């Protein structure tokens, strides 16, 4: 510790140059991450599927029968598929890594004599760490200054009760009581700490380095698709086995039927569904991050589409959090914004606004900045020098006030500011005209509350200020906050965000109920809710909630549109009440005490700019711009991602089931197999990769926000979607078999197979345009909004034509160049699934 303190001024902190030197010595303040799999490991991982291994074994067995070229091509296609799998996996990882960087925590440190906010990974030993309620401690350190400081150390000790901390005394060795540790959370007060250890050298780092890698849990959607894949896989294996037996009975050589059955199983069984869904989710999450909504947990994307209630804060989320002092009301004067100057505002009020304030003109809480921004810098500095702070009672959302104690000559000045009723509770006197101090009667308190309510009805935020004097320094919070003199009311205006009104309207169109939860006065809250066209409903305060049992609150919760003067812990009751009514709740929050409600809600949403690290840690999503409109946009994106996954899965399963139906029906009808093993595998590569994945990248349909939210327990594939799959599978099988039968005459098997193969591939590429929407006809869809789809179709057509028209490959695939008549049949039959899909849309439309 002595080494760290060497040449260090605790009032200035490290210089930027010294901090950079120490960063090179000690490294980044990060815990060790498990090693990432190498490129080779990821490639080999693609071959862990039992089906792929069986296919390779089958190909090797066929080599013993002299089919060496077929064997090499099958292995080549398998390697190409594995390569594509690695590319997609790496792309998904890159997208998630980029999102993770956006959500990196920050810390406040004292450097170059200024408080700076830096990424927590850049904190170094010797830094002076500034801590306040709601901060996540990013390193280990010794406390050199504390004010009513308490820390939740449950991450290290398992004890949920916050621990009181003290600063280290001169010459004393650091102890548990005078230290803070990485991973813990500040629950009360503020402090300065000298950083002693970072990264792996912290107490938490030592524990983390001993813990083995924890396997990542699958999302509910991945689990659902895993189960679906296994059910379909088992079904297809049975069908393929039946096809094998029937083919042998019909006299088709065992080797041909064995390889055909295995190839069909590999092509038809959707064993890669969960992996592709992860890719689509990852790319969707990256797009959401680009739009200022950072998703911390992948399952949150699935839940977003089910949200029925959004509980939102007011300040900074519905408003711009750009406070302006617009009125001052005292018994002596009533000043509007244009009349605010140092000569017209009573000195006691100016002094109170400066002293009971932690902000500077350039940084701090927007409300506190507004209180001093109109005053000269010299006056601010002179007052703070003349009245040094010796004690404070920090602001909390429960108390809704802040008090500070300042030494002046041989006396102590107490200043308090906060919600009007909270300040009046601790006042016994009032400053009136001619600077007289008179007793504050109950009738006068009622009159002040009435004035505050009138001002609040204009959408203003109202603060009260008070002061007191003492001959001795107060030792307890109760001594500080009692017997004060009421000075006046401060009125602040926070303009609404211009885009919020439209976002609220979009919410309501989408079947989502917006609910405002604020600590502001109920009249202010109601005024703003009315201006934003929130649903009409009751306004409840924290006092009202206290009168309700949990059951009574749940019974009345859906009648409420605004919760005002709410404590953070009330938010938990509000979430639970909505959830008892089977609502899916998104809850915003920024404070340390919001964490329980954020965790309990279905989607916890933390504020990126004003949110504490504790709130961010408890959330599922972080809004980088603290904007309600961004949250509504995230719901749109969440619905879009989920709908795209549905489109992708429906499209893929239609094709896979169609392939099985083609082979099964042909054998039953006494025809030879319409498709060869190599054609099936190439088909799997052509249609199951790029075009299907392109559906997962569809831009959202406008109509998606005019539909009610998805049911919380609604499966990915409902009976509606299963109907589409069955219809399309039959259409695909019919079109392909029809083309095969129209060409086959008993002696031109390769020609008929080529026609069937081309019909199936081209029908899938045409059908993908219809698959872009389950309801909207293709002529109403902008063809050029998904560029990746066009590129994937061009790539797939290229792969198809290469396998037919490039002589060496055509020979391997047993393809022949189709005649003009063949091409006519291919084109006509290829449009059948597309036409049936479009007709079905009109039939399904209500």
- Identify which of 687, 685, 790 has the alpha carbon closest to the alpha carbon of residue 736: 687
Q: Are 293 and 637 in contact (CB under 8 A)?
A: yes
Whole-number Å distance between alpha carbons of 466 and 443 = 18
- How many angstroms separate the Cα of 606 from the Cα of each of 382, 560, 597, 651, 748? 38, 23, 11, 36, 67
Active-site entry in 70, 140, 152, 313: 313
- Identify which of 58, 2, 554 has the alpha carbon closest to the alpha carbon of residue 258: 58
Phi-psi region of 601 (alpha: psi -120 to 50; beta: other; left: phi over 0): beta
- Identify which of 196, 178, 199, 193 has the alpha carbon closest to the alpha carbon of residue 129: 193
User: Which residues lie closer than 8 Å to 345 by C-beta, 6 or more apart?
Assistant: 328, 333, 335
**Signed CA dihedral, 687, 689, 691, 696: sign only:** positive
Phi-psi region of 292 (alpha: psi -120 to 50; beta: other; left: phi over 0): left
Length of the chain: 846
Q: Give helix 749-770 / helix 719-743 axis angle, nearest 10°.
A: 150
313 is an active site residue = yes
Can you spell out the DSSP letters for 443-511?
A: HHHHHHHHHHHHHHTTT-EEEEEEEEEESS---SHHHHSSSEEEEEEEEEE-PBPTTHHHHHHHHHHTT
Whole-number Å distance between alpha carbons of 674 and 740 = 7
Q: Are 812 and 70 in contact (CB under 8 A)?
A: yes
b/e string for 723-762 if b means 16 or more Cβ within 10 A? ebbebbbbbbbbbbbbbbbbbbeeeebebbbbbbbbbbbb
- Identify which of 810, 768, 814 has the alpha carbon closest to the alpha carbon of residue 793: 768
SS3 268: helix
Write 51-58 long-range contacts (CB < 8 A, 24+): 51/233, 51/265, 51/266, 51/269, 51/271, 52/78, 52/266, 54/262, 54/265, 54/266, 55/262, 55/263, 55/266, 55/681, 58/258, 58/259, 58/262
Can you spell out the DSSP letters for 141-208?
A: EEEEEEEEEEEE-HHHH---S-EE--PPPTTPPP-GGGEE-TT-EEEEEEEEEEEEE-GGGSHHHHHH
Q: Are 183 and 155 in contact (CB under 8 A)?
A: yes
Q: H-type helices in 532-566, by residue range?
A: 542-547, 550-556
Whole-number Å distance between alpha carbons of 731 and 735 = 6
- Number of C-alpha atoms within 13 angstroms, CB side, residue 624? 18
Whole-number Å distance between alpha carbons of 595 and 192 = 24
Q: Are 789 and 695 in contact (CB under 8 A)?
A: yes
- Number of C-alpha atoms within 13 angstroms, CB side, residue 109? 26
Whole-number Å distance between alpha carbons of 708 and 387 = 59
Whole-number Å distance between alpha carbons of 637 and 287 = 8
Whole-number Å distance between alpha carbons of 535 and 505 = 10
Whole-number Å distance between alpha carbons of 158 and 578 = 30
Q: Which residues are catalytic?
A: 313
């Amino acid at each position: 510790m002595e080494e760290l303190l060497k040449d260090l001024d605790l009032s200035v902190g490290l210089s930027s140059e010294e901090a950079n030197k120490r960063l090179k010595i000690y490294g980044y303040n990060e815990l060790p991450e498990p090693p990432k799999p190498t490129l080779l490991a990821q490639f080999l991982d693609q071959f862990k599927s039992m089906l792929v291994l069986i296919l390779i074994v089958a190909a090797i067995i066929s080599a013993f029968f002299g089919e060496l070229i077929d064997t090499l091509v099958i292995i080549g296609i398998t390697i190409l598929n594995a390569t594509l799998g690695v590319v997609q996996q790496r792309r998904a990882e890159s997208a998630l890594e980029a999102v993770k960087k956006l959500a990196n925590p920050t810390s406040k440190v004292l450097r170059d004599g200024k408080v700076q906010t830096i990424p927590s990974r850049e904190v170094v030993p010797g830094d002076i760490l500034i801590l306040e309620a709601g901060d996540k401690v990013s390193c280990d350190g010794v406390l050199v200054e504390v004010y009513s400081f308490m820390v939740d150390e449950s991450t290290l000790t398992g004890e949920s009760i916050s621990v009181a901390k003290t600063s280290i005394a001169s010459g004393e060795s650091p102890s548990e009581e005078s230290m803070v540790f990485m991973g813990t959370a500040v629950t009360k007060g503020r402090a300065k700490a000298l950083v002693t250890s970072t990264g792996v050298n912290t107490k938490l780092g030592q524990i983390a380095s001993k813990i083995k890698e924890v396997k990542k849990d699958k999302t509910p959607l991945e689990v659902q698709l895993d189960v679906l894949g296994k059910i379909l896989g088992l079904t297809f294996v049975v069908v393929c086995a039946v096809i094998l037996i029937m083919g042998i009975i019909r006299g088709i050589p065992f080797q041909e039927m064995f390889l055909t059955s295995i190839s069909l199983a590999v092509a038809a069984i959707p064993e890669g569904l969960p992996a592709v869904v992860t890719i689509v989710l990852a790319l969707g999450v990256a797009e959401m991050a680009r739009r200022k909504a950072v998703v911390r947990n992948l399952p949150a994307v699935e839940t977003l589409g089910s949200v029925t209630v959004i509980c939102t804060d007011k300040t900074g989320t519905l408003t711009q959090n750009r406070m302006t002092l617009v009125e001052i009301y005292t018994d002596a004067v009533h000043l509007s914004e244009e009349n605010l100057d140092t000569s017209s505002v009573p000195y006691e009020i100016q002094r109170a606004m400066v002293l009971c304030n932690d902000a500077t003109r350039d940084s701090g809480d927007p409300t506190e900045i507004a209180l001093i921004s109109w005053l000269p810098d010299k006056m601010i500095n002179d007052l703070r020098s003349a009245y040094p702070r010796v004690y404070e009672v920090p602001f909390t959302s429960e108390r809704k006030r802040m008090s500070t104690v300042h030494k002046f000559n041989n006396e102590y000045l107490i200043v308090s500011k906060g919600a009007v009723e909270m300040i009046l509770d601790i006042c016994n006197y009032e400053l009136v005209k001619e600077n007289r101090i008179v007793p504050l009667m109950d009738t006068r308190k009622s009159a002040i509350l009435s004035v505050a309510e009138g001002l609040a009805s204009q959408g203003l935020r109202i603060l009260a200020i008070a002061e007191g004097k003492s001959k001795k320094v107060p030792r307890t919070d109760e001594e500080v906050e009692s017997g004060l003199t009421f000075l006046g009311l401060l009125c602040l205006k926070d303009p609404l965000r211009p885009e919020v009104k439209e976002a609220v309207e979009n919410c309501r169109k989408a079947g989502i109920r917006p609910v405002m939860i604020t600590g502001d006065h109920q009249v202010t809250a109601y005024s703003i809710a009315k201006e934003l066209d929130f649903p009409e409903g009751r306004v409840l305060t924290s006092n009202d909630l206290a009168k309700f049992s949990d059951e009574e609150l749940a019974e009345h919760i859906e009648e409420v549109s605004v919760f005002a003067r709410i404590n953070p812990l009330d938010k938990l009751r509000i979430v639970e009440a909505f959830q008892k009514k089977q609502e899916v709740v998104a809850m915003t929050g920024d404070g340390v005490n919001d964490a329980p409600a954020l965790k309990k809600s279905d989607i916890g949403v933390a504020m990126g700019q004003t949110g504490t690290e504790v709130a961010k840690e408890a959330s599922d999503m972080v809004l980088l711009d603290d904007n309600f409109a961004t949250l509504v946009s995230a719901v749109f994106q969440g619905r879009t991602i989920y709908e795209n996954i549905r489109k992708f899965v429906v499209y893929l399963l239609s094709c896979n089931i169609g392939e099985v139906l083609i082979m099964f029906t042909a054998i039953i009808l006494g025809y030879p197999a319409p498709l060869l093993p190599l054609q099936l595998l190439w088909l799997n590569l052509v249609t199951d990769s790029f075009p299907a994945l392109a559906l997962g990248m569809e831009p959202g349909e406008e109509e998606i926000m005019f539909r009610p939210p998805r049911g919380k327990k609604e499966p990915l594939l409902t009976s509606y979607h299963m109907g589409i799959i069955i219809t399309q599978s039959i259409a695909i099988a019919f079109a392909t078999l029809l083309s095969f039968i129209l060409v086959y005459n008993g002696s031109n098997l390769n020609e008929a197979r080529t026609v069937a193969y081309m019909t199936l591939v081209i029908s899938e590429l045409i059908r993908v345009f219809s698959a872009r929407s389950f309801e909207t006809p293709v002529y109403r869809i902008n063809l050029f909004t998904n560029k990746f789809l066009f590129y994937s179709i061009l790539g797939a057509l290229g792969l198809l034509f290469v396998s037919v028209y490039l002589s060496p490959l055509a020979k391997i695939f047993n393809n022949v160049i189709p005649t003009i008549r063949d091409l006519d049949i291919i084109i006509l039959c290829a449009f059948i699934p597309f036409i049936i899909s479009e007709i079905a849309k009109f039939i399904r439309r209500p």
